[in-house]
Amino acid sequence: MPSLVGPSHYVFFGAIVRRLQWLRRIAEVYQNSGDPELLVSLARTEKLFASTLDRAEKVSGLGIRKPYPLTELLDDTPVESFLARFYDELCAFEAHLFDLLHAHHQRVGETEAQIRIEECINICALWGREIAGEKLLIPNDERYDSYSVFEGLYQFLEGGDLQWKPLLPRRLTENEVHYELRFCPHARGHSVSSNAEAKTLACRFESVVFEHFAKFLAHNATFSRTRGLDHCTDRIFLNN
Ligand SMILES: [Zn+2]
């Protein structure tokens, strides 16, 4: 019997697909790095995760106006199991990828590493704005206040409620959003990588996506991410 697919499954699936597309864009930056060791390991990693990446490829193009076609990809396992497996694969791919990028940065030295990092930061900023543009196409009569910025991050980037509170609010007022990230790159993929610097790089890139998503919706926003002992936290201020 086919499993029942509800709105929350689509939201979670959408966030996974967006994240995979983001990781692919970052990987593309390094395709012309001229570092044979990196190219070989990137190719090996893509091969290792081929079925995961193919799934995201099949539904490529942003989910504008209609949800990503989750039902086309479902296998005979319940939808929750399918999504949990897909999410785990995504986290593993992310951890592998950033381990490779970090090792590459160590090999090529600071100046060259910095050039790639800057390029990735630009791509992350664009990606955040692109996803925010996807949200803007969904009719919303209200202006984008701090609550809707938080809601947007929660749904579009973290996949809504299917995980247990991916963003845990600490303070949510008219002008300020402050929350803990329960599943930032420092927490994701811990079973694959123990390289703290690689995770910090991933978290930094992710924060750029969050920042530009927020700023696209609320032009007066300022954004900062802080590494805490247990969890990273984001603060967004909406200046009047
Ligand atoms: Zn983090």
pLDDT in tens, 212-224: 999 999 988 999 9
- Dihedrals phi, psi of 110, to nearest 5 degrees: -65, -45
Distance 204 CA to ligand 1 centre (A): 8
In sequence order, the 6+-apart residues with CB closer than 8 A to the CB of 54 are none
233 part of a folded domain: yes
Distance 74 CA to ligand 1 centre (A): 31
Output the pLDDT for position 61. Answer: 61
Q: How many domains in the chain?
A: 1
Output the pLDDT for position 95. Answer: 95
Output the pLDDT for position 191. Answer: 77
Mean predicted confidence (pLDDT) in 130-140: 76
Question: Ligand 1 (ion): which residues have CB within 5 A?
Answer: 184, 186, 203, 232
1 part of a folded domain: no
Distance 185 CA to ligand 1 centre (A): 5
172 part of a folded domain: yes
- Average pLDDT of the chain is 89
Distance 197 CA to ligand 1 centre (A): 11
pLDDT exceeds 80 at position 80: yes
Q: What is the pTM of this model?
A: 0.92
Q: What's the domain range around 93?
A: 7-238
Q: What whole-number distance in Å separates Cα of residue 53 and Cα of residue 41?
A: 16
Distance 75 CA to ligand 1 centre (A): 32
pLDDT exceeds 80 at position 45: yes
2 part of a folded domain: no
In sequence order, the 6+-apart residues with CB closer than 8 A to the CB of 5 are 70, 71, 74, 79
41 part of a folded domain: yes
225 part of a folded domain: yes
80 part of a folded domain: yes
Confidence at 35, pLDDT banded by 50, 70, 90: very high
Between residues 54 and 181, which one has the greater pLDDT?
Answer: 181
